[in-house]
Each structure stands twice: as C-alpha cells, then as structure tokens.
Structure 1
Amino acid sequence: MLVKTADYQKENLCSIVVDYIREMILCGVYKEGDHILETEVAKNLGISRAPVREGIKELQNEGIVTVIPRKGTYITKFTLEDIKEVFDIRLLLENNILEILISENKLSEEDFLTLENIVSSMIQVVNGPEDIEKKAMIINMKDMEFHRFIWKKSGSSRRVEILEGIFFQLRMAMLYDTNETGNLLVTATDHYEIIKHLRSKDLERCKKALREHIVSYKDGRF
C-alpha cells in the first residue's frame, strides 16, 4: 500500500508536535494543569493547527494531556496514585529483567564499565554549574539511559517493549520523584549499589537497591 506524500507529511508533523510538547513538559515550560493553546504551538513550530490537533489527540490517548470540551487542552495532573502505578509496573518488569541478567550471566565487564561511566557522568552534572532544574532534567535523562541499557541487555523484547511504551510516563514520574523528595547526588550514586549487586549476582540485594533507588518508596510515600 502506497502512502500519500501529504499523509506522510501530516504524520511527520504530528510526531514533531508530540515530541515538542513532551520536551516542553520535561523542561518545565509546561507544568501540570497548564493550558496548551493550539495557536501558540502552531506558531512556535511554524506549522498549521491541523497537525497540532492530531498531536494533541495522540498525547490525550497516552494520558499526558486532558481535553475538556469547550475549555481546551491541559497538561494532565499526575496524582501520587498515578505515579505509584507507573513505578509498580516498572519494578515488576525490571525485577524480572534483573533475574534474567543474573541467572543468564548477561552482563560483561565492559557492560559494567559502561554503567559506571553513565553514573560518573551523572555525578559530573550534579557538581556542574547548571541550575537545579536543569540538573534534575539531565540527571533524569541519564538515569533512564542507565536503566534502558540494562533492559536491552536482558534480551527480553516484550518486557522492553512494555517499558518503552510507558517511557515518557516513567520520565515524568522520575522527575517528580527527584524534584519533590530527592537529592540529586543520592539519585546518581544509588546506581553504584545496583551495579555492585549485579556484579556479585546477589539478586535480592539488587532488587532492594532498585526499590530504594526510587525515593518515594524509600521514604514510605507509597
């Protein structure tokens, strides 16, 4: 089946809108409850309103924005229960991934060095000159880089697919967790515990380190 050029361009512009709004949320430009104006997004991206509407529909399906009839589009407010649900899904699947990595000896010394380098780069960000919001955003991205590396090394394509499917919600939940209750240096260095127990193949301690890495669990907020 041939795809019409106009349809392809529309789909491509829709993806640009989705990525733009996601990044504006993660950068803190759009905050929970903020009103998104189609005309403003279209103007900022230099496109018509049609692909903006399509992009908003996609974000609505993902639960990232809420469309209220006759009022407009708003950034969805994530409740503590929403965030807990995202983390519960993550822990369930990532614990399975840890089991695979350890039982099947999936990680090489080179892999451990890669993980340690990611953590080192996180610590450099913590000690860098950027303001706290910028640091939190970069740490959030590096944190996900660390865990995505682990996911993919497991070779569990279906688990990875599910985790990737909630990737943006995970980033939002992790950013909330860090901003509200976390310490950036602790968030970064927590990963050393995960690496240590992966190396020693101590599954239970590895799972405990992962759970305690999520500040809201460690602080009893959940």
Structure 2
Amino acid sequence: MQSSLGAYQRENLCSVVADYIKEAILSGVYREGDHILETEVSQVLGISRAPVREGIKELEKEGIVTIVPRKGTFVTRFSIEDIKEVFDIRLLLENDILERLIGENKLSEKDFKALESIVEDMVTIVNGSGELLKKAIMLNGKDMEFHRYIWQQSGSKRRVEILERIFFQLRMAMMYDTNETGNLLVTATDHYEIIKHLRSKDLEKCKKALRDHIVSYKKGRF
C-alpha cells in the first residue's frame, strides 16, 4: 500500500512539473530555445529534482521540450515544417468534424449562442487594456475553447482524442501564428464566419473559413 501511495505521489508531482512548464511557456516565461534548469524548477515548486526530471521526460515525449545530452533541456523550437504539420493534422481532423456536425445536424441554436459567447469574450480581451503578449495568450486560450467545444459536439471520440493529444502543440503553433500577424481582432472575429457557415450548413464555406482562420495558410507561408 505504501509503495502504491509513493508511486501515485511521484506521478502527481510529475504532472505538477509538466503543467508548470507548459504554463510558463504559454505565458512567455520560457520562449522557444530557452534552457530549462531542473534546479530552478525544483526550487520554484519546492520539490526534489527527481519528479522534475520525470516531468521533463514526459514533456519530451510530447515534443514540447528537447533534451540535449550533456547540455540540458530546452524549449523545442518549432520550424515552419513543424507548424505546418501540426496545422495539417488539425485541418484534416477538424474538417472531418465539420462534416459530421453539418451532415448529421448536431448543432442547436443553444450551441451557436455558446460559440458566439466565446467569440464575444475574445473581442473583449482584444479591446481591453494590457500588454499585447498577455492579450495574445488569453485570446489563444479562448480560441482553443471555441474549437474544443466544436470537437466535443461532433461525438467523434477518436478524432477528439488525437486532437487532444496534440492540444499543447496546437496552442504553441497558434501562438506562433498569432505573433506573426499581430492582428488579434481579426483572429477573434474570424470565428463569426465559422459560426455563420455552420448555421447555414454550408460545408465548403465553413472549411474555407477554418482554413483562412489559420493565418499562415491565408498568408501563403506554407
């Protein structure tokens, strides 16, 4: 029993470490290529270095950090090819989800209102005061809330599982995409176009609105 409890506590601490580093990346504390020091994380969280090391290994499996022998751990640098691959996977799966939502009439007026409410929150964030980076981070979180709502309403369990598996990489890629444009209001209001075509059940226009929402595609960077 004691052994099982110890294993659970270690696993729990590993999750704490992983969550802390993820939030530090999204909040700009760590940027791509930054060196993550085990001792520093250990001191901030008030835990030993063993669970920190295990938590970092989990993040390496997710592709979020890169461990370089004899040099240390670094926040993974996403190349254009990496970003494209993440967005390609997203488009492939999310387009399938749009087909299910429209083809099987899965969204009600209540769902459309919920989606509009999330977009209204995005616009409020953009028009509010504060640093551009902080607003971009908050917008990024709301953006993913919007799309996760759509994923869940599709009832496509396996597609959602795959998207959730790359969820954090998607957020990192979207931060890159948002920072490249600097136009947060357009990023926010793009979602109204997606809702409009979901409402009218125009699949092709809905797919185009989704693709245009991903700025790097719209700008022709890929």
Q: What interval of TM-score do these two structures reach, taking the shorter chain for normalisation?
A: over 0.9
In 2, Cα distance between the equivalents of 1:138 and 1:82? 23
Q: 1:2 to 1:167 in 2, by over 3 A?
A: farther
2:221 counterpart residue number: 221
2:102 counterpart residue number: 102
Name the amino acid aligned to 2:56.
Answer: I
Name the amino acid aligned to 1:66.
Answer: T
User: Displacement of 1:181 after TM fit?
Assistant: 2.1
2:21 counterpart residue number: 21
Cα deviations across residues 68-116 of structure 1 (Å, max 9, x unaligned)? 1111111110001000000000000000000000000000000000000
2:75 counterpart residue number: 75
In 2, Cα distance between the equivalents of 1:56 and 1:36? 9
2:120 counterpart residue number: 120
In 2, Cα distance between the equivalents of 1:47 and 1:11? 13
More deviation, 64-73/198-207 = 64-73
Establish whether residue 189 from structure 1 lines up as the match of residue 189 from structure 2.
yes
User: Displacement of 1:63 after TM fit?
Assistant: 1.1
Q: Could you say what secondary structure the match of 2:107 adopts?
A: coil
Cα deviations across residues 16-62 of structure 1 (Å, max 9, x unaligned)? 00000000000010011111110000000000000000001001111
In 1, Cα distance between the equivalents of 2:89 and 2:155? 18
User: Displacement of 1:182 after TM fit?
Assistant: 4.2
1:139 counterpart residue number: 139
The alignment of Structure 1 onto Structure 2 pairs a total of residues equal to 222
Establish whether residue 40 from structure 1 lines up as the match of residue 43 from structure 2.
no
Q: 1:2 to 1:97 in 2, by over 3 A?
A: farther
Q: 1:186 to 1:64 in 2, by over 3 A?
A: same
> Structure 2 length as normaliser, TM-score?
0.98
- Preserved contact between residue 182 and residue 215 of structure 1 (Cα < 8 Å): no
Q: Could you say what secondary structure the match of 1:67 adopts?
A: strand
In 2, Cα distance between the equivalents of 1:65 and 1:140? 20
> Structure 1 length as normaliser, TM-score?
0.98
In 1, Cα distance between the equivalents of 2:63 and 2:193? 33
In 2, Cα distance between the equivalents of 1:205 and 1:214? 14
In 1, Cα distance between the equivalents of 2:180 and 2:193? 22
In 2, Cα distance between the equivalents of 1:220 and 1:181? 13
Matches within 5 A, 1:193-204: 193-204=193-204
Q: Could you say what secondary structure the match of 2:128 adopts?
A: coil
2:150 counterpart residue number: 150
In 2, Cα distance between the equivalents of 1:2 and 1:55? 22
In 2, Cα distance between the equivalents of 1:2 and 1:163? 36
In 1, Cα distance between the equivalents of 2:2 and 2:184? 49
Q: Could you say what secondary structure the match of 2:221 adopts?
A: coil
Q: Could you say what secondary structure the match of 2:192 adopts?
A: helix
Structure 1: 5+ residue stretches without partners: none
User: Displacement of 1:3 after TM fit?
Assistant: 6.7
In 1, Cα distance between the equivalents of 2:111 and 2:64? 34
Q: Percent identity?
A: 75
The ranges of structure 1 where at least 4 consecutive aligned residues each deviate by more than 6 angstroms after the TM superposition are none
